[in-house]
Structure 1
Amino acid sequence: MTATQRRSSGHSIASFGTRKGATALLLAGSLLALAGCSDSGTDASPSTPSPTQTAGSSSPGPTADAEDAAVIAAYTSSWDAQTEAYKKAASAGTDLKKSTTLQALADIEKDLAAMRRAGQVTTGKPVIHPKVVKVTDAEISKATVADCVDTTNWLLIDKTSKKEVPLPSERLTKYVSTATLEKWGTKWMVTKLTAQDQAC
């Protein structure tokens, strides 16, 4: 949560919105509570997946469907690992490096370090609704994923007291997020996650 700052990183994933006051970490992509925006803000664009949408295929055919499924699996794995890391404010012992590049991981590590300094961890988990919107076949193939991240039940708590850390009431608890992935060999890896200042 930095002031009016949009973060592009690996499944955020802890991206931030505006950090009003303090240690209230809006974990990206993660607890990403876009503090400067309200849920009553702009609606998600038509291309943003709704909770009922599932991963779609960027082009027809069984091969495209399989590739889309692999992209979503990598994206989901990255989120699962991030959730585990934020739960203990440390990436050690998680699978983050298996689905998230070092570039994206660097931003997550910054969040985790800030959480450790503040004595905070998370409880619960975010709910994601990813959809593949584009796959580009090249020497290093790339994919774009659009998501609606729901952090309603993903809470920041004080590690000692176990009490919830109050966050700005105007923050977004459901926000639009996009991710970029690259195919390294046979594996898809999350290279960038961007939380949008937009409700979904």
Structure 2
Amino acid sequence: MTATHRRSSWLKSATVHTRRPATALILVGGLLALAGCSDGDSDTSSKPSSTPTAVSPSPSSTAGAEDAAVIAAYTSSWDAQTAAYSKASSSGTDLKKNTTFKALADIERDLTAMRKAGQVTTGKPVIDPKVVKVTDAKVPTATVADCVDTTNWILTDKASKKKVPLPTTRLTKYVSTATLEKWGTKWMVTKLTAQEQAC
């Protein structure tokens, strides 16, 4: 994966035995970030059903409402990712409701690797997203900055229920960014990028 997919690097490193930074794995991303953030080549948790604690101040109530909608879509995407990684499948989750393009493709790639390795995740990541900017255009875009804490988001062998060993050099709390686009009245996560930077 690329830096965009750093979230899932911890997953890849555990399943494919190569260290690749995770994307925002949305679940795997967070987990992968755990294992691969120090390697830098992929994009993928959040407080249990966490609600964002803060949104950037906006000059108007309209901007404030837009920021809240962006955070809600981002959080919903993470919740769906967490559910998908817990069973190594997006089937039956709300993943496609707020996640699309590269972010969705990266997550599906992670899920495929997890299924092949017989792995799932337990627990949940903790997120703390903030809107960095919203750009008004024909297709409005938004950028979200986050600190993803994967301390209690554990990669597990599905059969034995045992924790999968991950590199000790992995970041368990890392900076992540997301790009969203507004499709009609709905915000969609189009890209998740885990940074090789602790937070």
So what's the TM-score if we normalise by structure 2? 0.82
Provide the rounded CA distance (Å) in 1 between the counterparts of 2:163 and 2:19.
Answer: 11
Query: What is the CA deviation profile of residues 63-119 of structure 1, one whole-angstrom value per residue up to 9, with x for unaligned ones?
Result: 110000000000000000000000000000000110001432111110000000000
- Higher RCO structure (Cα 8 Å, ≥6 apart): 1
Provide the rounded CA distance (Å) in 1 between the counterparts of 2:69 and 2:3.
Answer: 27
Check conservation: 1:34, 1:171, Cα contact below 8 A: yes
Q: What value does the CA root-mean-square deviation take over the aligned residues?
A: 2.4
So what's the TM-score if we normalise by structure 1? 0.82
Provide the rounded CA distance (Å) in 2 between the counterparts of 1:155 and 1:102.
Answer: 26
**Higher helix fraction (1 or 2):** 2
**Post-superposition, which runs of at least 4 consecutive aligned residues in structure 1 deviate over 3 A?**
17-21, 23-29
| Counterpart for residue 42 of structure 1 | none
List runs of 5+ in structure 2 lacking aligned partners. 40-51
Cα separation, partners in 2 of 1:24 and 1:86, compared to 1, 3 Å: farther
| Counterpart for residue 3 of structure 2 | 6
Deviation at 1:53, TM superposition (A): 6.1
Letter in 2 for 1:22: H
| Counterpart for residue 54 of structure 1 | 54
Provide the rounded CA distance (Å) in 1 between the counterparts of 2:62 and 2:112.
Answer: 41
Cα separation, partners in 2 of 1:84 and 1:24, compared to 1, 3 Å: farther
Letter in 1 for 2:56: G
Provide the rounded CA distance (Å) in 2 between the counterparts of 1:68 and 1:36.
Answer: 28
| Equivalences, count | 179
Check conservation: 2:13, 2:166, Cα contact below 8 A: no
Deviation at 1:170, TM superposition (A): 0.8
Identity rate, percent: 68
Query: What is the CA deviation profile of residues 140-198 of structure 1, one whole-angstrom value per residue up to 9, with x for unaligned ones?
Result: 10000000000000000000000000100110000000000000000000000000010
Provide the rounded CA distance (Å) in 1 between the counterparts of 2:163 and 2:171.
Answer: 17
Check conservation: 2:35, 2:166, Cα contact below 8 A: no
| Counterpart for residue 16 of structure 1 | 9
